[in-house]
Structure 1
Amino acid sequence: MTPLEAGKRAGGALTKMIVYIVVYVIVAAALQFLMSRFHVIAYLKYVNAILVLAFGWYIVNSFADFIYWTMRGKYDHPTAVAFKNMMRIIGIIAIIAAVVGAAVGGIGGLTIGGFLGIVVGFAMQQVAGQAVAGIFLMGARPFKVGDHVNILGEDGIVEDVTSLFTKVRKQDGTVVLIPSSSVIGNKIYLMLQKLTGQQSGQ
């Protein structure tokens, strides 16, 4: 993936996001006008909630794609995906808060939406923390796939590094998934030789 190609795809994702936002504004304004004209304005908040949910999903995904292709021009696929997933998680939390706020309306809607956003954010804290640790891990690159490492007493060959886990295969074939936050906060031993079982083609 060349930086030029990644830049073109990032531009395409950004264009899609802008189009979705413009269409959302037009549709929301048109529906508000029609509902006020036919005296069904009382249902507007429910319509707004549906619009936020529908268009919000497309907008969030387009923004996540934009982040992915922007990062892809400089970093590898796993690192770019980690950033994309982080943006998607944040976007989903924002959509949930916005939908509740739109459905309830007024100060109450803002209060409930904000509270729900905090609750969901707290529930996602562990996952988000793991993802952030994974991003730093893939950026720092203390080891790579194929390296023989010892992390938290787990000795084996690195098979994959994702935003949430590092996958290590031990000599007996056992696969260990080590959380990224645990890898970041502990010593990493890079062994000079591969395991004998791995060398023999296990």
Structure 2
Amino acid sequence: MAKSTTTKVGNAIVRTIIYIILYVILSAIVKYIIESLLPSFNIHAVSYESYVQILLALAFGYLIVSGISLIFYYSLLPKYGHPTAAAVRNIMRIIGIGALAASIAGAVAGGAAGVALGGFIGIVIGFASQQVLGQAVAGLFLLVARPFKVNDNVNIVSEDGIVEDVSTLFTTILKADGTRVLIPNNMIIGNKIYLKQTEQQQKPQ
């Protein structure tokens, strides 16, 4: 199992490096074709170069971000299990895609305006993803600290029931009447958590 996970980490690293190399090579080829090769045939497409480069950056940027998030996932999987590793992977993707969008926006504008625009886009993305990212970070804390686990009988934010699942964004509680309650993880952090005994635990020894 450990060997298989190590192999997957190695494969993810190799893929990420290949994506980076391919992006650099293709970007250079596009630049050469548009700025040097096409003008020799009296074809002028320099004004379109930025659009092609943006498409390349978006495509390979997403692949690189996904590759890095997989490295984190497979590195954490043996020690912390799938839920925690998946939470870290999702957080890395959110941060990576936000940074990618901000950097591309800044590069398009260029100069001081690009820095300002990139910063503004970053702030907008930050506010837009604040709720989701906050829930994901809270979910990661719950998965690492483990104040409760699946099948525990709990009272969380006034909801009684059995913990059915703890995911990146929500903790699922199964109530006695069969109702499933999805509680945002950021609501749980900072609130009291009551761990109740099950009927089996309450029986005298």
TM-score between the two structures when normalised by the length of structure 1: 0.90
Structure 2 Cα separation of the partners of residues 194 and 135 of structure 1: 30
Structure 1 Cα separation of the partners of residues 110 and 50 of structure 2: 6
**Equivalent in the alignment of 1:102:** 107
**Equivalent in the alignment of 1:153:** 158
* Matches for 1:35-114 after TM superposition, within 5 Å: 35-37=34-36, 38=39, 39-114=44-119
Contact 1:48 1:102 in 2 (8 A): no
Which of 123, 130, 136 pairs up with 1:131? Answer: 136
State the one-letter code of the partner of 1:143.
F
Which of 170, 182, 189 pairs up with 1:184? Answer: 189
**Equivalent in the alignment of 1:33:** 32
**Equivalent in the alignment of 2:5:** 6
Local SS of the residue matching 1:89: helix
Q: Tell me by how many angstroms 1:194 deviates.
A: 4.8
Structure 1 Cα separation of the partners of residues 27 and 20 of structure 2: 10
Q: CA RMSD in A?
A: 1.6
Contact 1:64 1:85 in 2 (8 A): yes
Contact 1:168 1:177 in 2 (8 A): yes
Contact 1:4 1:73 in 2 (8 A): no
Structure 1, residues 24-74: CA drift from partner, whole Å, max 9, x if none?
Answer: 001111111221112433322222111111111111111111111011121
Structure 2 Cα separation of the partners of residues 70 and 194 of structure 1: 39
Contact 1:100 1:109 in 2 (8 A): yes
Structure 2 Cα separation of the partners of residues 161 and 57 of structure 1: 27
Structure 1, residues 111-141: CA drift from partner, whole Å, max 9, x if none?
Answer: 2122112101111011111111110100011
The structure having more radius of gyration, on CA atoms, is 2
Question: What is the count of residue pairs matched by the alignment?
Answer: 194
Contact 1:3 1:74 in 2 (8 A): no
Structure 1 Cα separation of the partners of residues 197 and 60 of structure 2: 52
Structure 2 Cα separation of the partners of residues 78 and 194 of structure 1: 28
Contact 1:79 1:135 in 2 (8 A): yes
What fraction of aligned residue pairs are identical, expressed as a percent? 51
TM-score between the two structures when normalised by the length of structure 2: 0.89
Q: Tell me by how many angstroms 1:163 deviates.
A: 1.4
Unaligned 5+ residue runs, structure 2?
A: 201-205
Contact 1:148 1:191 in 2 (8 A): yes
Relative distance call for 1:154 and 1:115 in structure 2 (3 A) is same
Structure 2 Cα separation of the partners of residues 107 and 55 of structure 1: 26
Relative distance call for 1:95 and 1:25 in structure 2 (3 A) is same
Comparing 12-21 and 25-34, the one that deviates more:
25-34
